[in-house]
Structure 1
Amino acid sequence: MLQHHAHPGPPAVWDAAFADADDCLLSSDQCVIDAQHYVVKGLIEMPVVGSGELFSWGVWVFLSRENFSRAADLWYTAGRECEEPYFGRLTTELLAYPSTTLNLRNRVHIRPVGERPCVELEPTGHPLAVEQRTGITLERVRDVAAGVLHPGGDRGRQP
């Protein structure tokens, strides 16, 4: 199955000033801020209508300290995908949507070692959640890709 990906930058709560702080960390998969906020990177996957392909948004998700610690403890453990999903909230602003994606509630499903977690949004009426449930058209994927590769165009909403 072919996959298309869009990977926004760091979590919305990250500030470059945190880079030198002892109680902050930003890696390609995990983020800790002030030893109080715990974030992991996952994928919101949606089927591309009529194609058998997937489109994925790379997103950052707040987890509780306990769930973040559990995920970190199992990071390199075979069988970790048997974990129950963790409750989370998005901390990635996806400007391709007309309303904010920050704090959308979700479940983070841990997958086998080497794979990013899958983020399952609560089934609300938010356009991102609807696209995850019902699929995204190839034309929409192209529009999103153009907006991600060439930000500042007329696609999506303005910050």
Structure 2
Amino acid sequence: MPTDYGWKLPDDVWAIPEYERKDKAKFDNDLCQLGNRFFIRCVLKLPFIDQADFYAWGIWVEVSEPDFYRYVELYDQDGSTEPQIPGIIANAMLGYSTTLGIPVLVQYQASTSRPSVTVSVNDHPLSVEQSHGIDSHRYHEILVATGSLSGL
């Protein structure tokens, strides 16, 4: 069973018609700029309660311009000792009522890993799942929501 799901671009960039997208935004697999908005591709992990490991959401996070360029500067280095930076989720995550614009903290990682994300809103279901983990029933719901598994 898949243990991750991700978005290729922030939702606002993905919404631009494909034939216009490359003229309006600069992006690759890890970085994106849309005008004066800056995005970093990150990983938000939900630990499993009843099995080892975690479910990973590959999300885009909007960050400030200075934080974006600091990440670029550290891209090929270990940035794990850098302080966390604020950002907001830039994808509507499947299986949740709202995630766009939710405040998060981003922690840069070693050069071989995408930055990790911690949800800053304590009462949001995503924060609760990140703190307490997900059981097999919730994991099944996520797989159905992402289209990785048909609902039974």
**What TM-score does the superposition give when structure 1 sets the normalisation length?**
0.84
CA distance in 1, matches of 2:117, 2:140: 22
Consecutive unaligned residues in structure 2, runs of 5 or more: none
Where does residue 59 of structure 1 map in the other structure?
A: 59
Where does residue 70 of structure 1 map in the other structure?
A: 70
Q: Offset at 1:49?
A: 0.8
Q: Offset at 1:50?
A: 2.1
Report matched runs for 1:1-150 at 5 Å: 4-14=3-13, 15=16, 16=18, 17-21=20-24, 24-34=25-35, 36-77=36-77, 79-97=78-96, 99-149=97-147
Consecutive unaligned residues in structure 1, runs of 5 or more: 155-159
Deviations 1:1-29 (A, max 9, x none): xx8111134211102323124xx212111
**What TM-score does the superposition give when structure 2 sets the normalisation length?**
0.88
CA distance in 2, matches of 1:150, 1:52: 20
Instruction: Count how many residue pairs are aligned between Structure 1 and Structure 2.
Output: 146
> Percent same amino acid at aligned positions?
23
Q: Offset at 1:139?
A: 2.2
Residue type of the partner of 2:3?
H
Q: For residues 111 and 150 of structure 1, do their structure 2 counterparts lie closer, same or farther at Cα, with a shift above 3 Å needed?
A: closer
CA distance in 2, matches of 1:37, 1:58: 19
**For the aligned residues, what is the CA RMSD?**
1.9
